[in-house]
Amino acid sequence: MTLMTPKEPNKPKALRARRIVLLASVAGLSAFALLAGPGFYRSNFDFGASAAQAADTSSLPHPSSFAGIVAKVKPAVISVRVTIPGSAEPAMMSQNDDDQAIPFAPGSPLQKFFQQFGDQGGQPQAHRTIIGEGSGFFISADGYAVTNNHVVDHAKSVQVTTASGDTYKARVIGTDPKTDLALIKVDGKGDFPYVKFADQEPQVGDWVIAVGNPFGLGGTVTAGIVSAESRDIGAGPYDDYIQIDAPINKGNSGGPAFDVNGNVIGINTAIYSPSGGSVGIGFDIPAQTAKQIVAQLKAHGSVTRGWLGVQIQPVTAGIADSLGMKKAEGALVDSAQANSPAASAGLQAGDVITAVNGTPVKDARDLARVIAVLPPDSAVKLGILRQGDAKTVSVTLASMPNEQQASATQDGSAPRGVPHLGLTVAPAGDVDGAGSQGVVVTAVEPDGPAAQAGFQPGTVILDVGGKPVASGGDVVHALKLAQAQGKHAVLMRVKAGDATQFVAVPLGNA
By annotation, the residues acting in catalysis are 150, 180, 253
Three-state SS letters, 381-435: EEEEEECCEEEEEEEECEECCHHHCCCCCCCCCCCCCCCCCCEEEEEHHHCCCCC
The closest of 125, 117, 51 to 85, measured between CA atoms, is 125
Picking from 368, 388, 391, the residue whose alpha carbon sits closest to that of residue 326 is 388
Sequential DSSP letters for 347-377: --TT-EEEEETTEEP-SHHHHHHHHHHSPTT
Distance between CA 194 and CA 139 in Å, rounded? 5
Pairwise CA distance, residues 440 & 202, whole Å: 40
Residue 354 contacts residue 463 (beta carbons within 8 Å): no
Residue pair 243/283 in contact (Cβ under 8 Å)? The answer is yes
Using alpha carbons, select from 235, 169, 214 the residue that is nearest to residue 24: 214
The answer to whether the CB of 338 falls within 8 A of the CB of 375 is no
Distance CA 291, CA 297 (A): 10
9 alpha carbon, distance to own chain's centre: 18
Beta strands in 421-488 (DSSP E): 423-427, 439-444, 460-464, 467-468
d(CA 3, CA 286): 17
Q: For residues 183 and 195, give the distance between their C-alpha atoms in angstroms, rounded to a whole number.
A: 14
CA angle 333-338-341, nearest 5°? Answer: 70
Provide long-range contacts, Cβ within 8 A and 24+ apart, for 101-106: 101/125, 103/128, 103/130, 104/154, 105/154
- The torsion angle over the Cα atoms of residues 397, 401, 402 and 408, rounded to 10 degrees, is -70
Q: What gap in Å lies between CA 81 and CA 155, rounded to an integer?
A: 9
